[in-house]
Amino acid sequence: MIEWQDEGAVLAVRPHGEAAAIVEVFTARHGRHAGLVRGGAGRRLSPVLQPGAQVSLTWKARLDDQLGAFTVEPLRSRLAQAMGARLALAGLNAVTALLLATLPDRDPHPALYDRTIALLDLLEQTDLWPLAYLQWELALLEDLGFALDLAVCAVTGATEGLAHVSPRTGRAVSAAAVGGWAARMLPLPPVLRGQGAAQGAEVALALGTTGYFIEHRLLRQTEGRLPPARARLIALIAAQD
């Protein structure tokens, strides 16, 4: 019998049989992991097993490659925070959908886990959340091996006047050096480099750039597309101005 204990955030729940549920979680030390929860669709556990909830887990299986079974204890529910505002609910749905779409199965990402929990803890602070979410998408790209290099111009080495991102390399390009290639570049708004005010429209523009790399670098391996939940979140962020 194989057994481990960890904590994690619930990503998705689907019924299995009459009362059980298959639950996918993002755990601190075991990455994205699924398991069967007996009684998971029942009255006692279904309020606990909501997307974004933080739970303590014990996983058991006879063999390592089996689905296995979770025993679950609640640590923190985020349902009330998510239901308190449209932006919070859209944000929670976008985070869980992206993690489901991009994380390799059972591959630990402890730094990204910590960033994700910190982001979910900000759900009620809707004034801070759009910028925090943008920074989380940058961390998602970096942790999964596709960090953007936005510090200097890839052509000249300049640190000023950076206005574009190369869709091929993920590196910054200055307005002075882009030449006739501007139409093929992605935008580099100052907020993407941690500069300037985090206005809704500018954050949404920056998310268009991070979204390109998520779709064409992280999702292309599974021929996936960006989840609709993310598009709904960006629309709400853009409307904040």
How many Å from the N-terminal Cα to the C-terminal Cα in the chain?
55
Whether pLDDT at 241 is above 80: no
Q: What is the mean pLDDT of the chain?
A: 95
Q: Where are the domains of the chain?
A: 2-77, 81-150+188-238
> What does the pLDDT average to over 117-139?
95
Question: What pLDDT shows up at residue 81?
Answer: 86
Whether pLDDT at 117 is above 80: yes
Question: What pLDDT shows up at residue 7?
Answer: 98
Question: What pLDDT shows up at residue 222?
Answer: 67
- 230 HSE (CA, 13 A, CB side): 21
Cα separation, 154 vs 170, whole angstroms: 10
pLDDT tens by residue, 10-36? 999 999 998 999 999 999 999 999 999
Helices 110-120, 129-143: inter-axial angle, 10-degree rounding: 170
Cα separation, 36 vs 58, whole angstroms: 11
Predicted confidence band of residue 198 (pLDDT cuts 50, 70, 90): confident
Q: What is the DSSP string of 62-100?
A: SSTTS--EEEEEEEE--HHHHHT-HHHHHHHHHHHHHHH
Whether pLDDT at 197 is above 90: no
Decide: pTM greater than 0.85. yes
pLDDT tens by residue, 41-96? 998 999 999 999 999 999 999 999 999 999 999 999 998 888 889 999 999 999 99
CATH number of this structure's domain 2-77 = 2.40.50.140
Whether pLDDT at 220 is above 80: no
